[in-house]
Amino acid sequence: MAAPFMFALVGLEYYLSIKQQKKLYHGKDFLASSVIGFGNLFVNALTKVGIFYIVVICYNLTPWSVPHTWWSYLLCFLSLDFVRYWSHRISHVQRFWWSTHVVHHSSTYYNFSTSFRLSWVQHLKLVFFLPIFMLSFDPMVFIIIHQLEILYQFWIHTELIGKLPKLIEYIFVTPSHHRVHHAVNDNYIDKNYGSTLIIWDRIFGTFQEEKEQAIYGITNPVNSFNPVYLVFHAWGDLLMDIKKRPNMIWKILFESPTAWERGRNKK
């Protein structure tokens, strides 16, 4: 339902970027992002019913439940956003989980269409959300908050929105914060993991203010616009390394992707 509105904003951003003579879009890059996005919509259509079913099962099995009240939405939001922070952070510090996320960072451009780059296997990270399921929120409360959290990610992928008022910047994830997250500048790498709230980064020491122009992409550039390759190339690298060093499977799966990519570049 949100897709037409999103594409309308993509069109507006493209128009404004041309008007302001900013090179925010690249034809092949945009096409790759769009194909990946449509693929993700198809995967979501197959998996969201399953996710809802798991939520319902947990809700029915647990001897406790959170009543469906106004504050249950707030509690669910805080709990879910907290877990999203940590699942996102783990996705950046362990290669296995990075393989489910790297496609989102593969573009050297930063615009609304970048938000479409979501891995077709990202639902493997469902395991991180089991504690939220076990809290036994009303299934409708969970689904509504979950969808709002996902939709929030769209608007923060732009260079056309500068820094917002200090109070907003202090509490919420903004385009300024997320530009830092998508950058490969030395001071920006592995910073600002927050989903909707930036307070988790401030609490756990991963916050970085935007101070210099971000350079987007990953430290080991993909140099491809093939959507299938963009989604799965990290898995291929992972399996090749395991094949070469089968006695080090655990280390390979859970070593730092940043350290691995930098080491690969030195070879």
- The residue among 137, 149, 195 whose CA lies nearest residue 2 is 149
Q: Other CB atoms closer than 10 Å to residue 225's CB: what's the count?
A: 18
Average pLDDT over residues 131-144: 91
- Banded pLDDT at 259 (limits 50, 70, 90): low
- Banded pLDDT at 251 (limits 50, 70, 90): confident
Asked if residue 198 lies in contact with residue 177, where contact means CB atoms within 8 angstroms, the answer is: yes
Asked if residue 119 lies in contact with residue 228, where contact means CB atoms within 8 angstroms, the answer is: no
- CA dist list (Å): 159 to 22, 47, 55: 10, 32, 36
pLDDT score recorded for residue 73: 97
Asked if residue 258 lies in contact with residue 185, where contact means CB atoms within 8 angstroms, the answer is: no
| Rounded Cα distance, 164 and 166, in Å | 6
Share of residues in the chain with pLDDT > 70 (%) = 97
What predicted TM-score, i.e. pTM, was given to this entire model? 0.91
Mean pLDDT of the residues in the chain? 91
Range scoring the smallest mean pLDDT among 42-46, 148-152, 240-244: 42-46
Instruction: Dump pLDDT digits (tens) for 140-194.
Output: 999 899 999 999 999 999 999 999 999 999 999 999 999 999 999 999 999 999 9
DSSP assigned state of 103? G
Instruction: Dump pLDDT digits (tens) for 29-41.
Output: 999 999 999 998 8
Asked if residue 258 lies in contact with residue 190, where contact means CB atoms within 8 angstroms, the answer is: yes
pLDDT score recorded for residue 151: 93
pLDDT score recorded for residue 194: 96
For CA atoms 7, 144, 127, 258, the dihedral sign is positive
pLDDT score recorded for residue 263: 52
Asked if residue 152 lies in contact with residue 197, where contact means CB atoms within 8 angstroms, the answer is: no
* pLDDT over threshold 80, residue 15: yes
pLDDT score recorded for residue 152: 96
Asked if residue 171 lies in contact with residue 199, where contact means CB atoms within 8 angstroms, the answer is: yes
* pLDDT over threshold 80, residue 262: no
The residues facing 216 across adjacent strands are 183
Retrieve residue 135's tokens.
Answer: 């809290």
Instruction: Dump pLDDT digits (tens) for 62-113.
Output: 888 899 999 999 999 999 999 999 999 999 999 999 999 999 999 999 999 9
- Banded pLDDT at 52 (limits 50, 70, 90): confident
- The residue among 116, 124, 114 whose CA lies nearest residue 91 is 124
Average pLDDT over residues 191-209: 97
pLDDT score recorded for residue 91: 95
Highest-pLDDT range among 42-51, 127-136, 185-194: 185-194
pLDDT score recorded for residue 3: 79
Share of residues in the chain with pLDDT > 90 (%) = 67
